[in-house]
Each structure stands twice: as structure tokens, then as C-alpha cells.
Amino acid sequence: MATALCPGSFDPVTLGHLDIIERTARHFDEVIVAVIRNPKKADPLFSLEERQEMLAEVVGHLGNVRIEFFKGLLVDFARDEGAEAIVKGLRAVSDFDYELQMAQMNQRLSGIDTFFISTSPQHSFLSSSLVREVARFGGDVSSMVPETVAQRLVDRFSGGER
Ligand code: PNS
């Protein structure tokens, strides 16, 4: 059985992430959405539990996708899960250098291959950090994130919590 990891912080999950997860699920028997527990980025907007809830709500229609947390090296998690591939979305050339470097490091460390999927053009400008910033200042992100996430962002930032 071929298992792939879709790793990330998912703070919060965007329509761009969902697009990559859905397309990965068409090519692999099983997909693990791997949510990092100890990201370099301090001060997340949503807790791990909230991120898991949002992900569960938006991938519920995909029977071969599950959500797991990991900490430490992604390749160690991949080995523990028996995953044979990492799948990432590439939005633009600006993603390429860093993603290539990580893919090569992961390959050197473990032999695991990274597959890149081109982000759908309508999502190519999207990132969780930009979505957070727009939502923080009251911008409309309803076309950029799943409905449940948009609502949580509104709830989080209503009442002056900016
Ligand atoms: O959504 P993000 O924050 O861009 O995801 C980055 C992530 C979690 C995929 C990346 O930071 C990662 O794989 N971290 C795990 C630690 C690790 O394995 N580091 C070596 C990478 S070469």
C-alpha cells in the first residue's frame, strides 16, 4: 500500500492545502496529513486541537486521508508510518529553492522522495500567514479557506482580539 505524507503547520488549513490533499489522495492509497507539533514559527493562531478539528472537518469526504501530529524530523515520522513519499504543493518559483533544499535533505537523510504538485492557479497566492493577516484586520477570506475555517477566523478576531 502506497502511503504519502502531506506535511505542514496548517495554521489554518487553506483551500490551497485542501486542493493538494485532495489531489494527492487520488494518486496514493493512503494520505497522512502530518501536522507539525513544534514548528519554528512561534505563537500559532490556532491550537493543535483546533487545527486538527478544522482539518477533520474539511477532509472528512476523503476516505483514504487521516490526520496525525508529528514532532522532530519529518523523515522519522515517515519511517514510523511506513510512508514512501512526501507530497508538497509548489505555488511559485519563490517556493522552489527552499522546497528543493528540503526535498534533497530528506532524500539524503532517509531515501524518501518528495513529489511536487503544482498549486492550482486560483490558489497560487495563498498562504496561511497571509490569510491570518487579512482576517486579523477584518478582510474577507471566505474565498480562500473552507467555510468552517472562515467562520473560526471571524470568531477569533471579533471582539477586538487583534
Ligand atoms: O506549513 P509549513 O510551516 O511550511 O510546513 C513546514 C514543514 C512542517 C513541512 C517543515 O518545516 C518540516 O518538515 N519540518 C519538520 C522538521 C524537519 O524534518 N526538518 C528538516 C527538513 S529538511
For residue range 54-89, what is the model confidence (pLDDT) as tens digits?
999 999 999 999 999 999 999 999 999 999 999 999
Second-level CATH architecture of 3-124: 3-Layer(aba) Sandwich (3.40)
| Residue 139 pLDDT exceeds 80 | yes
How many A from CA of 22 to the centre of ligand 1? 20
Confidence of residue 42 (pLDDT cuts 50, 70, 90): confident
Assess whether the C-beta atom of 14 lies below 6 angstroms from ligand 1. no
Average confidence (pLDDT) over 137-148: 97
What is the pLDDT at residue 40?
A: 77
CB 88 within 8 A of CB 17: no
Residues labelled catalytic: 17, 41, 91, 128
Q: Has this prediction a pTM greater than 0.85?
A: yes
How many A from CA of 64 to the centre of ligand 1? 23
Confidence of residue 25 (pLDDT cuts 50, 70, 90): very high
In terms of pLDDT, which residue wins out, 160 or 86? 86
| % of the chain exceeding 90 in pLDDT | 93
Under 8 Å CB-to-CB from 122, ≥6 apart: which residues?
Answer: none
| CA gap 133, 136 in Å, rounded | 5
Average predicted confidence (pLDDT) for the chain: 95
| Nearest CA, atom 12, ligand 1 | 74
| CA gap 72, 70 in Å, rounded | 7
Span between the terminal Cα atoms of the chain, in Å = 45
